[in-house]
Structure 1
Amino acid sequence: MSDALCVLATGGTYAARTLYANSEETLHSAKRPVLLNGIPDLMARPDLADRALTVTLQRIPAAQRRAEKALMDDFEVVRPRVLGALLDVLVGALKRLPTTELQQLPRMADFALLMTAAEPALPWEPGSFMRTYAAMQVRSASLILDDEPVADALRMFVDAQGQWSGTVKELLKGLNETVTPTPRPQVDWPATPKALGVSLRRLAGALGKAGYSVMHLGRSNKGERYALSKMQAHPAEASQDARETDGDLGVLGAHQDDAVEQTF
């Protein structure tokens, strides 16, 4: 499901044989934003977390709850102004987009550029979106790594070794001998070098945000080789923002009321 959502977020195509034809092919292309709603953290895979924005909604006190009809009646009154405000923001973003640049582009590069270009029209302080976005990704990576026994073992292994390079088979042997989690999870723990290699590729991005480098060195006659190390330049700024904002893009909403008043 995570892989399918990633494809849908950045665009993908499904090919199938055309009905009642032997040699024709029909392509179905899709690229859409997706809303996921739930109480637990739904970003269980690093690749999906890199493509997601997180907003934590606060519980509504009993005194502030409203019937749906009353809520929708009020929404219909303000809907034209809300639409006008969104269009004004989009116009401002498109006007600034050709001259907007970022020092480092995240995975959702075009989206990040558009949101950065929209900052003056919202209005947000320059750079506030990318700071909050980076902090949110650090928080998401931390939550993912906390639930991964392989990630815990790799961080302990790198902390003890400093730097390490070798084959996946040698790494699995070292993890089993030195920092195997206790009690050892029979289901989640990789039993073969191939399974550990899959975990390394899947967790490399999240480990990088936590300050650990996982670099693929190619394949030798002994198997796939990796280099593990602790990054000298840990993303401290993003981590600090994560502690201050809890990695939640909802904190940007503090400026949205001002944007609505100015636009109206």
Structure 2
Amino acid sequence: MSTSKPVVFIHGLWIHSDSWRNWLDLFRKAGYDPIAPGWPGDSDTAAATRRNATAVANRGINEITASYQSVIDGLDTKPIVIGHSFGGLIAQKLLAGGDASAAVAIDPGQIKGVKPVPLAQIRSGLPVLSRPGNKKKAVALTKKQFRYGFGNAIPQSESDELFERWTIPGPGKPLFEASTANFSKTSPAAVDTTNGDRGPLLIIGGGKDHTVPEVVAKAAYKLYAGSSATTDYQAFPDRGHSLVFDHGWRDIADFTLAWLSRQGL
């Protein structure tokens, strides 16, 4: 039985869980017991997931969240959850629901109650949202779309290399669910932001992010104003949506480790 604190990393839409590889190594060296399970239908590698794209189709926020709850149920103690993009939305749901001891939501997908919808975010979501039929399908980004949505703050060559290494088709359903959350009483993108009994939460925003512009991350943070639980916010002004797996990943990871240390975790 491991005595190290478990950490569950949750990837976002269009990116394979292997993209957390550097974080896993760093957290293991820091004394944690980290894992990075994929979403339902993901294969073991990005290449294999691309070859079996239909396996990830029509998976929604609730099903993805339930898959991580199942992983957590197999652990000896409640983990820290760290999520990027839609993984950040799921991390918030897990924390609010009592499944995690703490959460870090990095450029988190839009939860219910967030009102800003910047043009950059609309453009980033168009590969999915432009066709209603995509709700039940798996959709892959083109290299150009990845460059706009993820790699706009890094060199073109690096963006292209990350695209080849980590991108996978993603289910369209979560994006449709998040985009209509404020019009649904039972939206799966809803999070109990008033819960004062949960563990600490850190929300991180990227100032140059097109997929989840910083104003969206900041709006999510403000929704927690009614909670007595610890909720912190940190912006990285020069970072885009690739911030957790591009050349500057260590800046985000080191800040996260320092924040966890301040929480006694």
Quickly name the TM-score band, shorter chain normalised: under 0.3
Structure index of larger Rg? 1
Which structure's residues are more often helix, by fraction? 1
Relative to the length of structure 2, the TM-score reads 0.20
